[in-house]
Amino acid sequence: MSERIDGSPFCPCAPVEESMLGVDRRSFLVGAAALAMAACAGGDGSGTTAPDTVGNKPDTVGNKVDVAAHPTLADTNGVALVTLSGTPLAIVRTGAATFVALSLICPHQGATLNASSNGFTCPRHGARFSLTGSWAGGERTSSMRSYATQYDVATGKLSIG
């Protein structure tokens, strides 16, 4: 048996009364709910989301990718992982002169997605996405963020943004 600060007896194994905590049950539940919502809304607290745009303006070099520099993009369904202006991206060749550019930031809570043999997977909660970024299973979330692409056949450069 111990004593409280006011000198009254206190047993550490006795149930704790709400008045002892200085917070009532309703306040505690509201606070816990707010913490849970903060953890779900906007992610894991990191605030990481896919940016609206990547790189600089489409006519600048900053967001152009030299397709020939990425041998994995030589064939349809080839994937190259690049970072443009700090944004991790997957570029997927979908045809002779067509590509998709996808943010590798998971739309659920901002983890960085991994490329797999047939798409992308999230290491944090298991969301799966197709090669073109559509949600395909696991943790329910939206599809991967995609960015406009424009391929210049003459120069072999892919503009993203």
Are 9 and 1 in contact, with CB atoms under 8 Å apart? yes
Distances (CA, A) of 151 to 155, 158, 160: 9, 4, 9
For residue 141, the minimal CB distance to ligand FES (Å) is 6
108 touches ligand FES (CB under 6 A):
yes
Scanning 6-14, 30-38, 70-78, 102-110 for contacts with ligand FES by CB under 6 A, the matching segment is 102-110
145 touches ligand FES (CB under 6 A):
no
Nearer to ligand FES, 72 or 139 (CB): 139
Strands 119-121 and 114-116: antiparallel
Q: Under DSSP, is residue 50 helix (H, G, I), strand (E, B) or coil?
A: coil
The binder of ligand FES chosen from 48, 49, 94, 125 (CB under 6 A): 125
Scanning 22-30, 64-72, 107-115, 151-159 for contacts with ligand FES by CB under 6 A, the matching segment is 107-115
The binder of ligand FES chosen from 106, 131, 158, 160 (CB under 6 A): 106
127 touches ligand FES (CB under 6 A):
yes
Q: Which two tokens stand for residue 11?
A: 């047993």
Instruction: Spell out where the chain has E strands.
Output: 2-3, 9-10, 64-66, 79-84, 87-93, 99-103, 114-116, 119-121, 128-130, 135-137, 146-147, 149-152, 157-160
The residues binding ligand FES (CB under 6 A) are 106, 108-109, 111, 122, 124-125, 127, 139, 141
